[in-house]
Amino acid sequence: MAVATEMAAATPLLKTCFTFRSIGIDSKIHCSNFKLRYRAAPIRASSSTAAPADSKRIKIRRPQNVDGDFFVDDTCINCDVCRWMAPETFRRSDGKSAVFQQPTCGERRTKALQGVYHCGYHSKKSYGAASYFITRPEGNILIDSPRYTKRLSSIIKKMGGARYMFLTHRDDVADHEKWSEELGCPRILHSEEVNSSTANVEIKLEGTGPWTIGSDVILISTPGHTEGSVSLLYKTKKVLFTGDHFMMNEFGFTISEAYNWFSVPIQLNSVKKLLEFEFEWILPGHGRRARFKDVEDKNSALKAFLASKGVQT
């Protein structure tokens, strides 16, 4: 079943005090713009220091941070974003993130996936989930919703806008309505995930798929975390966007059973289904991305995970 035959574009937007290659291209990251957890300079809680104009209260530096201007404040929600973006700077301490080594602002690069971008601007409405943007001849796709900002909107428009906005499941929709209005793109979500906040989604998937968007994108039904969770496979780049279905954490692959809202056995069966598809990257909404040497390596890793859960393959 084809959802559509054409598409449009978006971009990578991270900001911190060091250079980070966000899956696609280099972008300077100024911490003041990466507002989930940290600030570029200490804010001391004293009567002589006024709270910033854009803050409702003074942010308190976590005592677990090392000394220096870069730190995690007490609004950290332990979403893990900074730890997988910059593991050389952040780690978990007492249940939340902390700076254990001040960044040097030296350039750091990772091998890029051209045409695949991490949007940045993670939203608390989506519990800090990552969103992505892919550029492709048949039209660009915004995958899950970042926090809406005019800056990110401007960059996405310069990259061609978005033909579609694909929502993997109901948890990571954040500012989806604003993005859809701003970019003029229809939203895609499985009907089982629709609630009052997504009732106006333009394209509601039905059944168990798979569905296609043009010639190079497959939408794969991966229920378990929620009843209507769907993953997106970008065949050209061999990348699977899994939402909250399957990911890595500090210890290895996981389905985050503590946050399962539908069925763990069904979710494990959905992981098993992924053995049928060819991909070499996993880019999740929560958790850490994974890269495999090839499809055989991917299948070996998935089989080992399933075996650890007592699932035969």
Give the three-class secondary structure for 94: coil
Query: How much is the mean pLDDT over the chain?
Result: 79
**What is the distance between the alpha carbons of residues 3 and 246, in angstroms, rounded to a whole number?**
24
pLDDT per residue as tens digits for the range 154-205:
999 999 999 999 999 998 888 999 999 999 999 999 999 999 989 999 999 9
**What is the distance between the alpha carbons of residues 78 and 67, in angstroms, rounded to a whole number?**
20
Report the pLDDT value the prediction gives residue 166, as an integer from 0 to 100. Answer: 97
Bridge partners of 277? none
Bridge partners of 2? 212
Contact yes or no for 143/118 (Cβ under 8 A): no
- What is the CB neighbour count within 10 angstroms for residue 86? 18
Task: Over range 58-79, report the average pLDDT.
Answer: 78
Question: Above 50 in pLDDT, residue 28?
Answer: no
Residue 305's H or E segment, with its range, is helix 295-308
**What is the distance between the alpha carbons of residues 89 and 99, in angstroms, rounded to a whole number?**
6
User: For 274, phi and psi rounded to 5 degrees?
Assistant: -65, -15
pLDDT per residue as tens digits for the range 246-291:
999 888 999 988 888 899 999 999 999 999 999 999 999 988 889 9
Between the CA of residue 51 and those of 32, 42, 58, 76, 219, what are the distances in Å? 14, 12, 5, 18, 46
Question: Above 90 in pLDDT, residue 46?
Answer: no
For residues 124, 125, 126, 130, the Cα torsion angle rounded to the nearest 10 degrees is -50
Task: Over range 11-35, report the average pLDDT.
Answer: 30
Residue 70 half-sphere exposure toward CB, CA atoms < 13 A:
20
Report the pLDDT value the prediction gives residue 308, as an integer from 0 to 100. Answer: 96
Contact yes or no for 201/177 (Cβ under 8 A): no
State both tokens at 53: 């104009």
User: For 191, phi and psi rounded to 5 degrees?
Assistant: -60, -30
**Chain centroid offset of residue 184 CA:** 22
User: For 29, phi and psi rounded to 5 degrees?
Assistant: -120, 105
**Chain centroid offset of residue 241 CA:** 9
Task: Over range 43-55, report the average pLDDT.
Answer: 34
The CATH number of 2-12+111-308 is which of 3.30.499.10, 3.40.50.2000, 3.60.15.10, 2.60.450.10? 3.60.15.10
Contact yes or no for 136/164 (Cβ under 8 A): no
pLDDT per residue as tens digits for the range 128-147:
889 999 999 999 999 999 99
Report the pLDDT value the prediction gives residue 268, as an integer from 0 to 100. Answer: 97
pLDDT per residue as tens digits for the range 94-135:
888 888 888 665 444 334 567 889 888 888 888 888 999 999
Bridge partners of 254? 247
**What is the distance between the alpha carbons of residues 150 and 47, in angstroms, rounded to a whole number?**
34
This prediction's pTM: 0.71
pLDDT per residue as tens digits for the range 82-92:
776 677 777 88
